Chain A
Amino acid sequence: SQKIEQNSEALNIQEGKTATLTCNYTNYSPAYLQWYRQDPGRGPVFLLLIRENEKEKRKERLKVTFDTTLKQSLFHITASQPADSATYLCARPSGGYQKVTFGTGTKLQVIP
């Protein structure tokens, strides 16, 4: 089966610093990876999608990279703010384009 791992359960950083979250996958490289944000008690909210042939994608203070050699995606939040505190999930397609496998998430805490 296609696995996806977010090794850090939690990450604490100081406000203003860059947060970097890691997502590793096994087996073949997926056609794309997705990143979601989830606040406590709420459904995930889509942030970014990066395709296999894209090395990097940016959206405002967010940046995602995709390294097929390392089988890894990095998610960066620059100039982090306390409002960025949440759990961040990565996801990949599995078994075609209809099934999706999510990582267990990394809980980010931005300390003022």
Chain B
Amino acid sequence: EAQVTQNPRYLITVTGKKLTVTCSQNMNHEYMSWYRQDPGLGLRQIYYSMNVEVTDKGDVPEGYKVSRKEKRNFPLILESPSPNQTSLYFCASSPWGASQETQYFGPGTRLLVL
């Protein structure tokens, strides 16, 4: 089944404790992206990647890192999480570009930073 998977689905952590949220897709898509969703603010793009070793900032990249060493994986790294990073995170992938084709979203990761 074609899908985007994220792990973990739920995470509670404390301020400053490094964490990684994994994202994997099995559709051989070039494009992958991370979003966060907050009430009243909607979905905001954090980082995106056009292909292996090619990443770029979205609208809200501060406090996040990403890497794209393999085509199928695009982990989101929070080196020193803070409470304002408490949010619902979505990973998405697309055959090419975010625009011309549909994006396929993962199930989401709900993060709480205490």
A interface, CB within 8 angstroms of B: 1, 31-32, 34, 41-46, 49, 89, 91, 93, 97-105
CB neighbours of A101 from chain B (8 A): 45, 59
Contact with A along B49-86 (1 / 0, CB 8 A): 01000001011000000000000000000000000000
Distance of A43 Cα from B92 Cα, bound (Å): 9
Contact A98 B42 (CB under 8 A): no
Number of interface residues of B (CB under 8 A): 28
What are the 5 A-B residue pairs with the smallest beta carbon separation, nearest first?
A43-B105, A46-B102, A104-B42, A102-B43, A97-B97
Contact A89 B107 (CB under 8 A): no
B interface, CB within 8 angstroms of A: 4, 31, 33, 35, 40-45, 48, 50, 56, 58-59, 90, 92, 97-100, 102-108
CB neighbours of B45 from chain A (8 A): 99-101
Task: Tell me which of A34, A42, A89, A93 contacts B42 (CB under 8 A).
Answer: A89
Distance of A102 Cα from B97 Cα, bound (Å): 15
Distance of A34 Cα from B59 Cα, bound (Å): 19
Contact A105 B42 (CB under 8 A): yes
CB neighbours of A103 from chain B (8 A): 42
Contact A100 B98 (CB under 8 A): yes
CB neighbours of A43 from chain B (8 A): 4, 90, 92, 105-108
